[in-house]
Structure 1
């Protein structure tokens, strides 16, 4: 056991889960109440041939889940904020959603969180931040990681959640410098074109984004009250950033909508 621990490399980047480490070609993560549901999903993705997610190996003697390590880079860099990278992410998310077809959309065992009012269509990732998308070659997203917040939802809700980080739908003061001066409306359209979002859903995208801002604010505030990393995120201004993003969208809604329709 000591020899194994000496070879553990902490993996940084996520906001919610502590204690994630790399051991050789595997990743060890603390188990949660949603782990059985996530493992069932990952095994389904493997069975249908979706290559853009880690594989489940099992559990270790410390009760941690063991997943395959997906090599590559994460986070925002010059090559990951290009139009080509955004389109690649749209294609990858569509392939992932399509791969969840046939998987049970029951709510049991999944992480809680904000959601759409429509009936679930897919198992959404629901947390596609730049830290959770792996690039294997410059500008080409290869895989999705960290499915801790995955849950049954609609395609559009997961798209809205993704665009919150990647368009991004955010006040410029809160954007990463590489994303600060981009044409957000044009990027919304590029992503929707790459994914294949139908016209009727594009007309609803900003409405659902507004709903998500309101509900994610409430959900995060509730989780923060329980302490832990959610409390740290809240204390670090997560609620204020959500409010600013919603206000920015309201001001720019007409121009964003024009790009979408």
Structure 2
């Protein structure tokens, strides 16, 4: 593919970590990293498995950037719209995540596969999880979640860990102090139950969900602090912007409300 001129590139903003992401026509160009070959193998597997909720890999351009298909739709970035917080959207996201995990389960990583480091479960991996299903990384069409983007943090994990990471942002499991007005008064307990029902999460996993969430908060705090100090870039910006304090507040809020939330789950 021929080199792309700067005039043809439109910067894509909204992500926290990866700089230099641009749109060129119907494609997205992103800087590569050591995990890129593994992520590409995984995305190609998802395509072969018939999962339509992820970008497709088109190769590398003349500048050595990865080329992915541009996924049409709108992400749930600020300012939030009503559709991002409805029960219907939450159930649709759970169903999308379940389809993603089911497609992922048959993936065999290539020899020597490299994945981005991050917090994780102690249990043996079951799937390659997305591990970063934030509001930015879900694409809506016709008012409902239709696709996942930004697979940079994908790595071997458990289904439950990926569910917990998703619910962190979408239930949300967070101190209301750190939420937009539209999400501040959501009924978190019923939303946890709704998501688990729509995903089809087993009773055993539901019983351990909140304990794993507490574990994840501690490990996420440590992981982000290390990446801010060693990797810098977007990680350092998030840390300087109070990410660590938000994680600590979210864990404290969970500990205060855990019994109430657990009652909804079981």
The TM-score range, normalised by the shorter chain, is over 0.9
Partner Cα distance (2:173, 2:190) in 1: 12
**Where does residue 56 of structure 2 map in the other structure?**
55
Asked if the contact 1:105/1:152 (under 8 Å) is kept, the reply is no
Q: TM-score, normalised on structure 1?
A: 0.97
Please, which of 128, 132, 135 is the counterpart of residue 133 of structure 2? Answer: 128
Asked if the contact 1:29/1:65 (under 8 Å) is kept, the reply is yes
1:94 has 2:98 as partner:
yes
Unaligned runs of 5+ in 1: none
More off after superposition, 67-76 vs 153-162: 67-76
Asked if the contact 2:3/2:62 (under 8 Å) is kept, the reply is no
Q: TM-score, normalised on structure 2?
A: 0.95
Correspondence 1:1-261 to 2 at 5 A: 4-75=5-76, 76-104=80-108, 108-138=113-143, 140-226=144-230, 227-261=232-266
Partner Cα distance (1:105, 1:154) in 2: 15
Decide whether aligned partners of structure 1 residues 2 and 30 sit closer, same or farther in structure 2, where only a CA change above 3 A counts.
closer
How far 1:3 moved relative to its partner?
Answer: 6.3
Decide whether aligned partners of structure 1 residues 35 and 179 sit closer, same or farther in structure 2, where only a CA change above 3 A counts.
same
SS in 1 for 2:201: coil
Partner Cα distance (2:161, 2:183) in 1: 22
Question: Which consecutive aligned stretches of 4+ in structure 1 deviate over 6 angstroms post-superposition?
Answer: none
More off after superposition, 4-13 vs 24-33: 4-13
Deviation by residue 1:40-80 (Cα, 9 ceiling, x = unmatched): 00000011110000000000011100000000000132111
SS in 1 for 2:132: coil
How far 1:216 moved relative to its partner?
Answer: 0.4
Partner Cα distance (1:164, 1:18) in 2: 24
More off after superposition, 93-102 vs 75-84: 75-84
User: What is the total number of aligned residue pairs between the two structures?
Assistant: 260
Asked if the contact 2:3/2:63 (under 8 Å) is kept, the reply is no
SS in 2 for 1:116: coil
SS in 2 for 1:225: helix
How far 1:104 moved relative to its partner?
Answer: 2.1
Partner Cα distance (1:177, 1:105) in 2: 42
How far 1:4 moved relative to its partner?
Answer: 3.0
